[in-house]
Chains A and B, each alone.
Chain A
Amino acid sequence: MDKAFIQHRRRDLVVAACLTVVAAMMPLAVTNGYYQELMVMTLLYAALSQSWNILSGYCGQISLGHALYFGVGAYTTTLLFTKFGVLPWFGMPAGGVLSAMIAMALGYPCFRLRGHYFVIATIVIAEITLLLIQNWEWAGAALGLTIPMKRDSWATFQFARSKLPYFYFALGLACVAWLVTWWLEDSKWGYWWRAVKDNPDAAESLGVVVFNSKMGAAAVSAFLVAIGGGFYAQFVAYISPESVMGFQISLLMALPAVLGGIGSLWGPILGAVILIPLTTLTSSYIGGSGRGVDLIVYGGLIIAISLARPQGLVSLFSRKARPAANPVREAVAS
């Protein structure tokens, strides 16, 4: 392993630690509830997009149906709490494990599909699940579920006024998603995924177990997204099929990574920090909700970035985009 690469990874870790400290102190400066809520959403989408990036960016299996795992996380946590009194601290991991299992069960047939057939399968599966939940009376059908508010407590993870507990949880989740990505980037899996993304046939011939590595990526990605879903349900205390499993969620999860840089460590965070505040603030300042200004901003940005900077905005920071070590690609090239 060359020295520059190890140094680079150490530097990433230091930068991340500094950013976390700065982020953790943000609520001291920003005390307004509206902006604190905005920061929670930004961190949540940074975490979600980071998780999406593991399967779609690193492993190259573009999923536009990740709302499925978000929804499974939100519904598992909420149903366990409202119907059986199980605390969200158990509900969230339960949703995560369930999601990872679903991801692998779906991956079994889906990972044989390539290109657009795969993308459309992800959209269609999320859509089918959405329709089924909309017709599932016990789970609240189309109306959704409300989490009854009791008193502020860490046990039930409910806080009526203060946004801070949610803020720190979201920050923690974003850190975990980042660390998992950081760790995986330099693991056997990380190399396999990049090889699978670049050229699955060549990777297979060099001994990469393509199918298993896709399954691994899907499971990790789905688990983290489901934790995010469970957290979101706690945060807003009301979920409906459309609000946690709609196509919009899948799109919102993908966009920060696309904007910041698909398949890069910092891309999703950078994308979320720009995209979420920008669109939230423009739509509240210019047009109010329902006037489509946020969509215009999203759409314009995506077109501009994908045409002008296909590597994403992270590429602006390093003049020469860091070449991720990829022995399989080198072996294929030589």
Chain B
Amino acid sequence: MTAETIIQSLASGLLMGLLYGLIAVGLALIFGLMDVVNFAHGEFLMIAMYASFFLFAFFALDPLLSAPLVAAALFVFGAVVYLLIVRFAVRAKANTGMVQIFSTFGLAVLMRGVAQYFFTPDYRSIPHSWVGGKTISIAGIYLPQPQLVGALIAIAAFAGLYFFINRTDFGRALEATREDAGAVALVGIDKNKVFAVGWGLGAALVGLAGAVMSIFFYVFPDVGASFATIAYVTVALGGFGSVFGAFAGGIIVGLVEAITTLVLPASLKTVGIYGVYLLVVFIRPRGLFGSI
């Protein structure tokens, strides 16, 4: 193992990590806003990937071009999921914790079933897109272009999210609701509207991630499952609810995965990620950046 291979894999690990951060940030946003873990997060990613795939297959739209469309569609989908399901789940009078977990879990199972029914379990991929399958050499390190573009989009999305939360009225309403949902109602903010937009935003972010993923990853009904577990680990590492903890968590996960691949067989690459999760929560039960 030369120094070059190590740098090479760390660099691609970093890119992948930024993308993991983008996949996970919507989950963190929603959790921070209303203490609900969306167990259908992976399936949100899955439908975003299918959306990109079909826009490519039918309209020959490059995934990068259709990404804003996919994100917008996911925004609507996320808001609808909140209004139709989650809004009622958080009001449950009995077994509140279970209802929250299993209502989104049920949605995940349902979405996977619907995808299998309509799209068949076949693996699909986008054969030739603008950046698919290409690499670029920077200072002697070869970087896959799709991941590089994905990482740039992730950084842009995080910057945009930072601006949105800190500089816009709606972002402030979001922050206020997350601090104290009861109090914001008193100053005339519609809690439900804020939550719906929060879900929309969270879904739009994972939609963006799905658009990028569709360039270099197979699209199939169960694709969300493995990425969802990684997303939960990412969010938990950062400390549930911390949006920028998810960013840091993503980078850590990407690097750990790269290092694991260097020392263990490829089939065990997620063991490193899961191991780091256990290590972190055993030492700090509220994650790295979570408040205790």
Once A109-B282, A116-B37, A128-B275 are accepted as A-B contacts, the answer to whether A295 and B116 lie under 8 Å apart by CB is yes
Once A124-B274, A293-B117 are accepted as A-B contacts, the answer to whether A258 and B110 lie under 8 Å apart by CB is no
B85 at the interface (CB under 8 A from A): yes
Contact residues, B73-95 vs A (CB, 8 A): 85, 88-89, 92-95
**In the complex, chain A residues whose CB is within 8 Å of the CB of B274:** 124-125, 127-128
- Interface segment, B1-9, B60-68, B201-209, B262-270? B262-270
Q: How far does the alpha carbon of A132 sit from the alpha carbon of B274 in the complex, in Å?
A: 12
Q: Are B101 and A302 in contact (CB under 8 A)?
A: no
**In the complex, chain A residues whose CB is within 8 Å of the CB of B281:** 113, 117, 121
Query: DSSP class of A's interface residues: helix, strand, loop or mixed?
Result: helix
Q: Are B113 and A131 in contact (CB under 8 A)?
A: no
**In the complex, chain A residues whose CB is within 8 Å of the CB of B221:** 292
**In the complex, chain B residues whose CB is within 8 Å of the CB of A114:** 285
**In the complex, chain A residues whose CB is within 8 Å of the CB of B31:** 116
Q: How far does the alpha carbon of A247 sit from the alpha carbon of B222 in the complex, in Å?
A: 12
Q: Are B109 and A295 in contact (CB under 8 A)?
A: yes
**In the complex, chain A residues whose CB is within 8 Å of the CB of B277:** 120-121, 124
Query: DSSP class of B's interface residues: helix, strand, loop or mixed?
Result: helix
Tally of chain B residues near chain A (CB < 8 A): 51
B30 at the interface (CB under 8 A from A): no
Q: How far does the alpha carbon of A135 sit from the alpha carbon of B89 in the complex, in Å?
A: 40
Q: How far does the alpha carbon of A121 sit from the alpha carbon of B116 in the complex, in Å?
A: 28
**Residue ID in chain B nearest A123 by CB atoms:** B229
- Band of interface residues on A: 35 or more
Q: Are A292 and B116 in contact (CB under 8 A)?
A: yes
**In the complex, chain B residues whose CB is within 8 Å of the CB of A304:** 106
Interface string of A290-301 (1 = CB under 8 A from B): 111111111111
Question: Which of A124, A262, A294, A311 is within 8 Å of B113, CB to CB?
Answer: A294
In the assembled complex, the CB of B44 is this many whole angstroms from the nearest CB of chain A, namely 14
Which residues of B are at the interface with A, using a C-beta cutoff of 8 A? 31, 37, 85, 88-89, 92-99, 101-103, 105-117, 121, 221, 225, 229, 232-233, 236, 240, 265, 267-268, 270-271, 274-275, 277-278, 281-282, 285-287
